[in-house]
Amino acid sequence: MAKTTQPKDITPADSVVPVYLVPLTAEEEAEREAWAAEAAEREAAEEAKIAAKETAKAKLAALGLSEEEVAALIA
Amino acid sequence: MIDFPANPTNGQVYGNWIWDSSITSWRNVNTDTGIGALNAMGLKNVVPGSIVVGSGSATVNGNGFVTFSNVTNLQLNNIFSSTYKSYRMIINITANSATTAIQGQMVAAGTRSTTGYNNVVTVGASDNTTATVSAINSTTFGMCEVHVSSNTNLGSAELIFTDPFEARPTKIPHVGTGSNSGGFVIRRNAFASHTVATSYDGFYINVATGTASGTVQVFGFTS
């Protein structure tokens, strides 16, 4: 998606290449929010998966399985 | 007395020495400041053509070392070209205003590609828990996640791009370091590809939430 707003040259004195500021458009802000939501959702799923694995390990240990046996079942 | 190989060719490496045929002499890679275009490691720094930020500021020194501050996004233009087939990029997050993912997109002539990212990720955490996630045909790909709850600002991503400038899929294996909500260190091993087969010359880094500060370096692998 092309930037549609006019770039503002903000090149600092010590930069060897041009640096431009292009504030995000409303559409890009919305896109960014969607990406953030997607990332948060994925992260929550990862953490839920980790929590489920820990619960499963605890239940297996409660059944009398050794640490090695639990590890062999849940790699 | 160092027993150098006979009949060396330009750029040939021997221990910490490299042969420079322009002066018919071995140069010490650690101490010889006149080493010029020779590069024993096969990696050469790339200076972007320009930088675009959505907020904050950035600066680039003569070696192509990019320092950015308080940006929502950072676009590196003209970093990929026909000069190299493969590139290494190192992103280091030194400050972030909110817990956030750091995401990437390929750029062609200033325009971001917003489809075709496939990312398979294995996550390992220092609290000895692991998880695997995959994102297929996404609009972007995640490189690392940085928390502010604890281990604040612990974020980095190291990426290898193969064929970004060729009109074929770009392969982007990468590793990311970050932290989870428990404050534990997370290491992400990921294998991304971008299947929209166009020639790309730039890369877009998105800070999903808030702003971030840090540095970016790009190197080309000598072919």
Q: Reduced to 3 states, what is the DSSP secondary structure of residue A69? A: helix
Nearest to A46 among B47, B110, B123 (CB): B123
Do the Cβ atoms of B208 and A39 come within 8 Å?
yes
- Total residues found in chain B within this entry: 223
The proportion of chain B whose per-residue pLDDT surpasses 90, expressed as a percent, equals: 48
Nearest to A42 among B55, B135, B181 (CB): B135
Tell me the β-bridge partners of B36.
none
- Total residues found in chain A within this entry: 75
pLDDT exceeds 60 at position B58: yes
Do the Cβ atoms of B60 and A45 come within 8 Å?
no
**What type of residue is A41?**
E
- In the 8-state DSSP scheme, what is residue A25? P
Instruction: For residue A1, name the pLDDT band (cuts at 50, 70, 90).
Output: very low
pLDDT exceeds 70 at position B109: yes
The proportion of chain B whose per-residue pLDDT surpasses 70, expressed as a percent, equals: 90
Which pLDDT does position B129 carry in this prediction? 67
pTM of the model: 0.79
Q: Which residues in chain B touch residue A32, judged by CB atoms under 8 angstroms apart?
A: 72-73, 206, 208
**How is residue A59 written in tokens?**
């239940």
A7 closest CA partner among A25, A23, A26, A27: A23
- In the 8-state DSSP scheme, what is residue A11? -
* Tens digits of residue pLDDT in B160-214: 999 999 999 999 999 998 877 777 788 888 899 999 999 999 999 999 889 999 9
Which residues of A fall below an 8 Å CB-CB distance to B?
Answer: 1-3, 7, 10, 12, 14-24, 28, 31-32, 35-36, 38-40, 42-43, 45-47, 49-50, 53-54
Mean pLDDT of A49-61: 85
Least confident of A13-22, A37-46, B183-192, B202-211: A37-46
Task: Please tell me the number of Cα atoms within 13 Å of A44 on its side-chain side.
Answer: 6
Give the whole-angstrom CA distance, residue B4 versus residue B113. Answer: 50
Mean pLDDT of B1-17: 81
Q: Is the ipTM of this complex over 0.85?
A: no
Mean pLDDT of A20-30: 91
Nearest to A1 among B48, B49, B114 (CB): B114
Which pLDDT does position B63 carry in this prediction? 85
Closest Cα in chain A, distance from residue B216 (Å) = 14
Which residues of B fall below an 8 Å CB-CB distance to A?
Answer: 47-55, 57-62, 72-73, 100-101, 103, 110-112, 114, 123, 125, 129-131, 133, 135, 138-140, 142, 145, 180-181, 206, 208-209
- In the 8-state DSSP scheme, what is residue A23? P
DSSP string, chain B: ---PPSS--TT-EETTEEEETTTTEEEETTT-GGGTT--TTSEEE---SEEEESSSEEEE-TT--EEEEEESEEEEES---TT-SEEEEEEEEEEESSSEEEEEEEEETTEE--S-EEEEEEEEETTS-EEEEEEEEESSEEEEEE-SSSSTT-EEEEEEEESTTSSSPEEEEEEEEEE-TTS-EEEEEEEEEE-------EEEEEESSS-EEEEEEEEEEP-
Which pLDDT does position B44 carry in this prediction? 83
Give the whole-angstrom CA distance, residue B178 versus residue B214. Answer: 14
Instruction: For residue B35, name the pLDDT band (cuts at 50, 70, 90).
Output: low
| Sign of CA pseudo-dihedral B104, B108, B112, B116 | negative
Give the whole-angstrom CA distance, residue B75 versus residue B55. Answer: 11
* Average per-residue pLDDT for chain B: 86
